Copies of this chain bind each other. A is one copy, B any other.
């Protein structure tokens, strides 16, 4: 597997993209379009919030079709917008479809931004008209698209890899936006993955679901789960590898590369959480089962108290044990070992249930790093899981105290 320089959603064969400013946000790019030159198989993972935005409903209803394009807008989530919102999502798809000479059902749509306000459809429709002619397979196509989907993100998130499958070079590219409201099950997270791999719908869905479970569903910024979270993957088959129809060696190789893309983008979303200054990686080992390991890791990266302590570079490991304890997973607290790690070293804080008197200076030095690793070793079994989050800062409060204005 090779990581590509300047990789993005246009790295795989037959994909074009562009990001444009169409007037939804003030002087910022706010619309991205991705197209495939040929019909692509699609797979999607969607928010489990029962309040789903209109575009989520549209995509859930159409992801089984052959897909030619995706329209994404930032600045307005088209969520909690009633029947008008459903019509607007369909009209958006219809607009790109008409330009491409396909049906609305062959186009997916995604929105992110403010909730509860109807889309300014004239801007959306004119925006598609003005963006469509600019679609490009060049680096700038992928870059501008990644930029256009940002909301409170501070940098564009994109990546691509090449892998060899049965003698053919298969490329996977992706971009994501995250930042606020990111929680288990992908809250306000949009991710778009393209690949020229030749793979069946069923196998594509299987691979995506597995990858999302270990990556996007293991990040948390603030515990809120949005109405719009979506991960979409399009596979157009232009790599001309032998079609992946079963869980064979080719499938495993494809899944590995796909997981790399998902992990890279998911961690970037946690790292770029609203107001975040630090990335937290919480790893649980020795758990009784996978589900328990996941619950514990997520509970720890979701704890406001721990997140505030990490912001303050305070080795308050008691808050780690406390969050483990209310995770809903069962374990013996007297078997727990806790360590903090960073590029500056490692420190043991609790050893099999017994608190360790530790060197505060060493702890402060470790916590001064940007990436903080929290190791939780249980004495229950052999299952493990990793979750990612960020610290809780003054800026999080500032950004969310007055997001709409």
By a beta-carbon cutoff of 8 Å, the part of chain A in contact with chain B is: 48-52, 77, 79-82, 114-118, 180-181, 187, 222-227, 302-305, 308-309, 311-312, 314, 316-319, 321-326, 330-331, 333-334, 349-350, 353-355, 392-394, 396-405
Contact = CB atoms under 8 A, between A and B. Distances in A.
A322 B50 CA distance: 9
B80 A350 contact: yes
Contacts of A181: 305, 322
A245 B199 CA distance: 71
B318 A115 contact: yes
A400 B116 contact: no
B403 A330 contact: no
B50 A321 contact: no
A397 B401 contact: no
13 contacts: A50-B333, A79-B318, A80-B322, A82-B353, A116-B355, A180-B305, A187-B326, A308-B399, A309-B402, A309-B403, A314-B405, A316-B404, A397-B397
Given A305-B224, A318-B114, A322-B224, A333 B400 contact: no
B314 A401 contact: yes
Do most interface residues of chain A lie in helix, strand or loop, or is the interface mixed? loop
A398 B405 contact: no
A128 B123 CA distance: 72
Nearest to A114: B318
Given A308-B396, A393-B397, 8 more contacts: A116-B318, A118-B355, A224-B319, A304-B396, A308-B400, A309-B401, A316-B404, A394-B394
Given A224-B323, A317-B116, A326-B225, A392 B403 contact: no
Contacts of A51: 321-322, 324-326, 333
Given A225-B326, A314-B403, A325-B49, A82 B397 contact: no
A312 B227 contact: no
A324 B51 CA distance: 8
Nearest to A318: B115
A323 B226 CA distance: 8
A81 B330 CA distance: 19
B311 A397 contact: yes
A374 to B, nearest CB: 15
Contacts of A325: 49-52, 225, 227
